[in-house]
């Protein structure tokens, strides 16, 4: 007989603590795992990220261990950036493409040792990784279930982790890693995150998950540290200008209709494409695109008013030139931000367009035509995310 808690959904190693903290019982599905959309109030969780510390269960992130004599050569063939420039103990953001130069996914590469890497990705891609390994002396393992992870983000995040006894963490630079012993288990801490703020990600064996959660929340007054759900994280990442696979672009292997996938250039990620390194997946197609021009341009828009332009059409005069993929009124930046895919050559910095916004109040739909402007940079990029050591809080 099944109990009310029996489910086909997977639970992360932190689930007992997460479930106890989820006051409003608001749950979502992240790649088959039960994860909270919100614990109590989305705005309070968001402000924990920006004012104190927010803690996010990162465990469902797909994690692949790539090791062996050809590990670096294999990854250099797979992704668009030069992996040889990622030194041991460092993390690099990257994308990988199919042979047509269309993005399969974006993610982070952790260089754990000379021939030992961890690739973190949104989409499940083990089949693609294995197929791409033909001819390389490399081992690829899906270690998603073997690694529990927490994102600890916000201006007091370093102080709280120091209070836990992680001595020396304040000297860790952005995109660096450090190893610690925690309760007899190896704990890896990286200065990475998806909020655009000072923050860290903690990686440990599942057996250490609950003690790690408990120690973290005992590191400071409970009012100064809060668990955060996917809704608050989404608001923070939009404010910081971070795109999300499955939201801001369709991974190429998931695209059913022609023309729905995007290249790195069309996502504003051309800086990740290194044509000076040896051959990599999609290189020829991306070279041709660089010479001929892209079909679309990624743009960050400042939209007039405070109504988020969710799924809006963008107009130039009477012509539809693109659509909004992510949108939010961002409290810290005090800006109504939208990410848009615009037809080239539209999307130049400073150009002005119109967003067609629909919103509902008390079952009444309102249509608003809001002026918007292409920004040259995202409005939230605090110095504290780069300071080493972080400012004391």
The C-alpha atoms of residue 195 and residue 56 are separated, in whole angstroms, by 11
Q: Are strands 319-330 and 313-316 parallel, antiparallel or unpaired?
A: antiparallel
The C-alpha atoms of residue 244 and residue 251 are separated, in whole angstroms, by 10
Residues 6+ apart with CB under 8 A from 7: 34
Asked if residue 377 has a cis previous peptide bond (ω within 30° of 0), the answer is no
| Spatial contact of 312 and 324, defined as CB atoms under 8 Å apart | yes
Residues 6+ apart with CB under 8 A from 370: 303, 304, 305, 307, 309, 336, 354, 355, 357
Lookup: tokens for 105: 């996914």
Sheet strand arrangement including 225-227: 177-182, 185-190, 199-204, 148-153, 53-57, 225-227
How many residues appear in the chain?
Answer: 393
The C-alpha atoms of residue 125 and residue 66 are separated, in whole angstroms, by 13
201 is in an annotated binding site: yes
Query: Is the C-alpha dihedral spanning 170, 175, 178, 179 positive or negative?
Result: positive
What residues form the annotated binding site? 201
What residues form the annotated binding site for substrate? 201
């Amino acid at each position: 007989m099944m109990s009310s808690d029996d489910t086909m959904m997977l639970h992360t190693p932190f689930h007992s603590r997460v479930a106890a903290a989820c006051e409003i019982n608001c749950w979502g599905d992240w790649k088959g795992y039960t994860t909270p959309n919100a614990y109590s109030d989305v705005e309070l969780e968001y402000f924990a990220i920006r004012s104190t510390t927010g803690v996010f269960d990162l465990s469902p992130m797909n994690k692949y261990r790539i090791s062996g004599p050809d590990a670096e050569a294999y990854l250099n063939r797979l992704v668009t950036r030069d992996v040889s420039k990622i030194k041991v103990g460092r993390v690099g953001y990257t994308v990988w493409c199919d042979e047509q130069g269309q993005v399969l996914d974006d993610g982070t590469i952790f260089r754990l040792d000379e021939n030992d890497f961890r690739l973190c990705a949104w989409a499940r891609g083990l089949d693609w990784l294995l197929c791409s390994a033909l001819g390389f002396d490399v081992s690829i393992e899906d270690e998603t279930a073997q690694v529990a992870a927490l994102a600890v983000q916000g201006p007091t995040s370093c102080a709280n982790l120091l209070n836990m006894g992680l001595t020396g963490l304040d000297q860790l630079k952005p995109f660096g890693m450090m190893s610690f012993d925690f309760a007899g288990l190896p704990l890896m801490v990286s200065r990475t995150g998806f909020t655009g703020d000072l923050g860290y990600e903690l990686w440990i064996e599942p057996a250490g998950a609950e003690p790690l959660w408990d120690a973290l929340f005992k590191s400071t007054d409970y009012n100064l540290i809060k668990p955060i759900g996917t809704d608050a994280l989404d608001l923070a990442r939009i404010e910081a200008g971070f795109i999300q696979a499955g939201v801001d672009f369709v991974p190429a292997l998931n695209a059913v209709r022609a023309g729905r996938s995007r290249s790195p250039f069309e996502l504003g990620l051309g800086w990740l494409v290194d044509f000076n390194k040896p051959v990599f997946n999609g290189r020829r197609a991306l070279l041709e695109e660089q010479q001929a021009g892209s079909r679309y341009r990624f743009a960050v828009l400042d939209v007039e008013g405070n109504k988020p332009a969710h799924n809006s059409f963008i107009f130039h005069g009477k012509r539809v030139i693109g659509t909004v993929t992510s949108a939010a009124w961002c409290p810290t930046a005090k800006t109504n931000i939208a990410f848009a895919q615009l037809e080239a050559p539209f999307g130049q910095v400073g150009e002005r367009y119109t967003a067609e916004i629909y919103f509902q109040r008390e079952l009444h739909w309102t249509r608003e035509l809001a002026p918007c402007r292409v920004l040259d940079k995202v409005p939230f990029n605090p110095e504290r995310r780069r300071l080493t050591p972080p400012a004391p809080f």
